């Protein structure tokens, strides 16, 4: 017995490691303070989306991994290095979505949306996942608002998407620069590949091992390389615009002509390739525009990006369906909004705060609160608090115009105190007339 007792004591002495749960690297909470920015941007984006005839779609966060490898491309950074993928209990290879377009296209095909009147215009919002090296503006979980137009080939669609982005950034007063390029069709890209191979014939050895493979498999990806040396070499490479076929050239010219007409300034950027294989023809990004930011930084903090993807529906097993889309990064827009010293507009609200003192009044206040909500009063409470001082401080902090005070006496006499926070004047009124009394004073 004595032995067991000693053993037990020993076990007790073993230090237990404290478990302190933490969010995963590159993933963070969006606290209410940041959430307010998200709400503001989302409200504007959704409103604009609806004006342009987009409808909301919710797509799963988890999809078959092959959906992304096929659409985004095997040699892209997203697929090669950044996929959050795993094998599920049924032995299927699945992945957390790194972007929204592939899922929307899958949904379009799977739900027979090609039979609906075209184009089908969809918008989505939600978290995306990329296993990137976390750094400023680059997180492993981030939020995108995206728009997709499926079943429309004309350059006007590209222009409208850009216009929608432009209107959004104008509305929130964010200074941005539009970067635009044309990646052509597979024929143009074949010719471009030939020219790139020729250009790199004697320089190939100087490229990083990854770019040497890229050159063989998907030469446009060379422009995604973050290695300084590769960037230096590729900066003098031929431009894809010189390889465009007549149809792609005309498409691009029409996009630019329309932008000119709309007086939307743009920068022709032949190095803009967008890191995903499915793009054809127009690609564009909105970069933050701020004194002191280099082009490299602007591109690293790109706020929104999109383009045309005329072959993706076909690649994923659907009928030939031209399409285009764009995605906005909510975290980056929030950050840049703050960097440009912009402020959220002050809400003009008529907040009424309901304060209570004592148990009986608390009970009564619980019901009164519900009635005031039904009467569409912008009512706030702090029923969990007992101290009147604490409640008044809170009412002040949230900018309440009126405070209603319910105490034991008031309950007994079926009255309530109304305090006007601007003048400090307090009046006792009949509790049954409270809605009228509030409306009189707001």
Closer residue to ligand AMP (CB): 306 or 318: 306
* Choice between 77 and 310, CB closer to ligand AMP: 77
Min dist. Cβ of residue 112 to ligand AMP (A) = 27
Cα–Cα dist 339/331, whole Å: 12
Number of helices (H) and strands (E), helices first, in the chain? 17, 16
- State in angstroms the smallest separation of the CB of 53 from ligand AMP: 22
Least separation in angstroms between residue 357's CB and ligand AMP is: 48
- Find the shortest distance in angstroms from Cβ 103 to ligand AMP: 12
Q: Which residues bind ligand AMP (CB under 6 A)?
A: 99, 130, 132, 137-139, 142, 144, 275, 302-305, 327, 329, 331-332
Smallest distance, ligand AMP to C-beta of residue 184, A: 19
Q: Which of 63, 57, 134 lies closest to 97 in space, CA to CA?
A: 63
Q: Are 215 and 222 a contacting pair, CB within 8 Å?
A: yes
C-beta of 27 vs 163, nearer to ligand AMP:
27
Distance of CA 365 to the CA centre of its chain: 40
CA distance 100 to 58: 10
Q: Which position has the token pair 């007790």?
A: 12
Quote the least distance from Cβ 139 to ligand AMP, whole Å.
4
Q: Which of 88, 76, 57 is nearest to 130 (CA)?
A: 76
Least gap, CB of 346 to ligand AMP (angstroms): 27
* Nearest to 125, CA basis, from 26, 172, 48, 57: 57
> Minimum Å distance from CB 247 to ligand AMP?
25
> Judging by beta carbons within 10 Å of its beta carbon (0-12, 13-18, 19+), is residue 265 exposed, middle or buried?
exposed
Q: Which is nearer to ligand AMP, 100 or 380 (CB)?
A: 100
Dihedral-angle region of residue 307 (phi above 0 means left; psi in -120 to 50 means alpha; beta otherwise): left
Tell me the residue number closest to ligand AMP, measured at CB.
Answer: 329
Q: In this complex, which beta carbon is closest to ligand AMP, that of residue 277 or of residue 410?
A: 277
Residue with tokens 């090296």: 133
Q: Are 317 and 286 in contact (CB under 8 A)?
A: no
Nearer to ligand AMP, 142 or 252 (CB): 142
On the 0-12 / 13-18 / 19+ scale of CB atoms within 10 A, 134 is middle
Q: Which two tokens stand for residue 367?
A: 């019901």
Round to whole Å and give the CA distance between 139 and 133.
8
| C-beta of 147 vs 327, nearer to ligand AMP | 327
Q: What Å distances lie between residue 98 and 58, 64, 210, 336, 393, CA to CA?
A: 15, 12, 21, 22, 45
Q: Among residues 333 and 351, whose Cβ is nearest to ligand AMP? A: 333
Min. distance of Cβ 85 from ligand AMP in angstroms?
16
Of the two residues 316 and 361, which places its CB atom closer to ligand AMP in the complex? Answer: 316
């Amino acid at each position: 017995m004595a032995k067991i007792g000693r053993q037990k004591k020993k076990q007790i002495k073993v230090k237990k490691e404290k478990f302190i749960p933490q969010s995963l690297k590159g993933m963070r909470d969006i606290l209410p303070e940041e959430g307010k920015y998200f709400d503001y941007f989302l409200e504007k984006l959704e409103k604009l989306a609806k004006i342009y005839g987009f409808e909301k779609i919710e797509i799963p966060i988890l999809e078959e991994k092959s959906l992304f490898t096929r659409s985004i491309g095997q040699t892209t950074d997203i697929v090669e290095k950044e996929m959050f993928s795993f094998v599920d209990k049924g032995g299927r290879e699945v992945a957390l979505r790194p972007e929204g377009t592939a899922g929307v296209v899958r949904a379009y095909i799977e739900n027979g949306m090609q039979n609906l009147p075209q184009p089908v215009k969809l918008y989505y919002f939600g978290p995306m996942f990329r296993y990137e090296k976390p750094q400023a503006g680059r997180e492993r979980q981030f939020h995108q608002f995206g728009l997709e137009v499926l079943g429309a080939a004309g350059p006007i669609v590209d222009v409208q998407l850009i216009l929608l982005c432009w209107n959004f950034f104008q509305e929130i007063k964010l200074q941005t620069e539009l970067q635009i390029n044309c990646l052509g069709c597979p024929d143009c890209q074949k010719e471009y590949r030939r020219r790139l191979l020729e250009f790199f014939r004697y320089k190939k050895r100087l490229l990083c091992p990854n770019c040497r493979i890229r050159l063989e498999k998907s030469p446009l990806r060379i422009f995604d390389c973050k290695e300084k040396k590769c960037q230096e070499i590729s900066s003098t490479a031929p431009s894809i615009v010189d390889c465009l076929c007549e149809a792609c050239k005309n498409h691009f010219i029409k996009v630019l002509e329309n932008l000119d007409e709309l007086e939307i300034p743009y920068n022709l950027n032949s190095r803009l390739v967008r890191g995903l294989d499915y793009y054809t023809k127009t690609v564009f990004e909105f970069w933050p525009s701020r004194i002191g930011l280099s082009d490299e930084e602007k591109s690293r903090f790109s706020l929104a990006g999109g383009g045309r993807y005329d072959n993706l529906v076909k690649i994923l097993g659907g009928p030939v369906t031209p399409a285009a889309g764009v995605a906005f990064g909510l975290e980056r827009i929030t950050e840049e909004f703050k960097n440009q010293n912009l402020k959220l507009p002050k809400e003009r609200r008529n907040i009424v705060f309901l304060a209570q003192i004592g148990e009986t009044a608390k009970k009564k206040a619980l019901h009164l609160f519900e009635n005031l909500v039904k009467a569409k009063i912008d009512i706030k409470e702090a029923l969990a608090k007992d101290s009147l001082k604490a409640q008044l401080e809170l009412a002040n902090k949230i900018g309440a115009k009126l405070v209603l005070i319910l105490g034991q006496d008031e309950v007994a006499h079926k009255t309530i105190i109304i305090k006007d926070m601007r003048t400090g004047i307090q009046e006792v009124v009949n509790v049954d007339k409270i809605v009228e009394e509030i409306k009189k004073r707001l």
